[in-house]
């Protein structure tokens, strides 16, 4: 069966078209013919430069599309890092191959010039208006700056389409909801992505570095109780008996404070109900109860 080609499509090409074509013709399974082990020092420099530019653009656009600005917190086992590394190596290898294919390079350059011609003219006119200079009087450095800006803009748009075609925004959401311990970079000291994951793993809903209130700790364990019956009966009993485990450690007064607080009473209302002169004593006792929760969770 002949695979479809976007060149044969009538009308504008959409992101869905690109995604469908990518699924049918997954280029990430390709292998570049460029071999870094056999490259010269000059070729290795260009290859490294191509990889750096690609990585920077990939991460910049990922940040714009998903809010996740860097992959430094994730290990090489993470699907996102694996995809970026695969893309980076393949695209950079193809760039190096094109250096040896003048005909293909000319075609690509001509195509790029046609696509960006209008933008270049617009940017030159804009610069001329801002500086009062005639375009013919602009220096090579000024024109190079203008053209480089158009190149960056073009690269950004292409990279944005590239990431959307590979469903990177969706992959980021999956990364957040289905992460595993192996996905995180252990060498990063302040790895807040990992800290947040660890807290969620232990059923703590606080943001990285933030302390939970007593209500938050109680809610965290309420959320941990499964809706469907679990196969591990011992685990289910432990979750159901959580209140009993905490209450066993409290004296009669603190038990009443804990239960009233769980029912939603304020510290002032609890103090009034239990005959305390003010709420400061209630606050101190709640702090000790909270410490029991914290020790139990962590």
| Residues 135-148: tens digit of each pLDDT | 999 999 999 999 99
Amino acid 229: pLDDT? 43
Task: Give the whole-angstrom CA distance, residue 146 versus residue 119.
Answer: 10
Task: Give the whole-angstrom CA distance, residue 126 versus residue 129.
Answer: 5
Strand partners, 184: 74
Is the model more confident about 168 or about 189? 168
Secondary structure (3-state) at 84 = helix
Is the model more confident about 27 or about 236? 27
Secondary structure (3-state) at 184 = strand
Query: Over the stretch 243-256, which tens digit does the pLDDT of each residue have?
Result: 666 777 788 888 88
Contact yes or no for 38/100 (Cβ under 8 A): no
Is the model more confident about 244 or about 105? 105
Every domain of the chain and the residues it spans? 11-182, 202-297
Tell me: pLDDT of 49 over 50: yes
7 pLDDT tier (thresholds 50, 70, 90): low
pTM over 0.75, yes/no:
no
Question: For residue 293, what are its two tokens?
Answer: 């929760």
The domain 202-297 is placed in CATH, from the list 1.10.10, 3.30.310, 1.10.3470, 1.10.150, at 1.10.10
Q: Please compute the mean of the pLDDT values over residues 89-110 and round it to a whole number.
A: 91
Amino acid 207: pLDDT? 46
């Amino acid at each position: 069966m002949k695979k479809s080609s976007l060149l044969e499509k009538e009308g504008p090409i959409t992101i869905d078209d690109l995604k469908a074509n990518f699924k049918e013709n997954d280029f990430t399974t390709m292998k570049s013919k460029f071999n870094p082990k056999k490259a010269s020092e000059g070729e290795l420099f260009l290859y490294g430069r191509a990889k750096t530019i690609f990585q920077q653009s990939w991460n910049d656009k990922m940040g714009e599309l998903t809010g996740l600005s860097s992959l430094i917190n994730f290990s090489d086992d993470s699907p996102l890092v694996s995809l970026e590394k695969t893309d980076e190596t393949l695209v950079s290898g193809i760039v190096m191959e094109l250096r040896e294919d003048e005909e293909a390079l000319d075609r690509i350059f001509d195509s790029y010039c046609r696509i960006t011609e209008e933008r270049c003219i617009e940017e030159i006119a804009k610069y001329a208006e801002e500086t009062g200079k005639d375009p013919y009087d602009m220096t090579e450095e000024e024109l190079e700056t203008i053209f480089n800006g158009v190149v960056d803009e073009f690269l950004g748009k292409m990279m944005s389409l590239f990431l959307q075609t590979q469903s990177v925004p969706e992959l980021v959401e999956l990364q957040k909801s289905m992460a595993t311990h192996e996905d995180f970079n252990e060498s990063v000291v302040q790895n807040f992505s990992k800290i947040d994951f660890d807290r969620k793993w232990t059923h703590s809903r606080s943001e990285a570095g933030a302390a939970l209130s007593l209500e938050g700790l109680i809610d965290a364990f309420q959320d941990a109780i499964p809706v469907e019956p679990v196969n591990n009966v011992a685990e289910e009993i432990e979750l159901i008996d959580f209140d009993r485990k905490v209450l066993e450690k409290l004296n009669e007064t603190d038990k009443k404070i804990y239960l009233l607080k769980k029912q939603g009473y304020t510290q002032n209302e609890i103090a009034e109900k239990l005959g305390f002169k003010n709420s400061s004593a209630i606050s101190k006792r709640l702090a000790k109860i909270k410490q029991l929760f914290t020790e139990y969770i962590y």
